Amino acid sequence: MGFGTVVSHIILFISIVTVAAGFFIVVNNYVQGTTGNLIAQQERVTNRIQTDIDITTVDYDNTTSPDTITISATNTGSTEIDPDKTDLVLDDLRVSRTERTITIQADTTTGNPGLWDPDEVVEVVTNEDLGNGTHTVSIVAPNGVTAEASFST
């Protein structure tokens, strides 16, 4: 075996090792990215499962103009909910966050100021003139969990 053959084998070996190392780096990055995404998705699913809202009362007052709708709801799940990112849907139409107020009832506050903790009650108030009949109101948490109730005017 001559010197030229040994050199060509060394060059071929170095090329194969370089390609294999590059392939390993690409596959490793892919596996790490996929693992990170799966963990994030699992956290989102767990958060949705642990979130639950119960609308306890809906009061409709037509003595004001526009009419006042007051919804009381309890966080019956085990997750904290940001009330500023919670939506109100009235008869399948989203009420703008500037056209409703959400306040955590002071007598139920248990811990984190500004967050809707488990077992706390919020009051959602909006003003809207509604026609006679049955209407539906929904409270939607930031993760998409929804509580719905019907009321009559």
Segment 29-59, tens digit of pLDDT: 888 888 888 888 888 888 888 899 999 999 9
Question: Are 71 and 16 members of one domain?
Answer: no
CA-closest candidate to residue 53, choices 82, 90, 93: 82
> What mean pLDDT comes out for the span 61-71?
90
Domain that holds residue 44: 1-49
Question: Are 41 and 86 members of one domain?
Answer: no
Question: Are 67 and 25 members of one domain?
Answer: no
Question: Are 105 and 127 members of one domain?
Answer: yes
Tens of pLDDT along 86-123? 999 999 999 999 999 999 987 766 677 888 989 999 99
Residue 4: is its pLDDT beyond 90?
Answer: no
Domain boundary among 49, 73, 88: 49
Question: Are 28 and 70 members of one domain?
Answer: no
Question: Are 39 and 61 members of one domain?
Answer: no
Mean pLDDT of the chain: 89
Question: Are 42 and 85 members of one domain?
Answer: no
Q: Which residues touch 76 (CB under 8 Å, ≥6 apart)?
A: 52, 53, 54, 118, 119
Q: Three-state SS for 146?
A: strand
Question: Are 104 and 146 members of one domain?
Answer: yes
pLDDT attached to residue 110: 65
Please give the share of the chain, as a percent, with pLDDT higher than 90: 48
Number of domains in the chain: 2
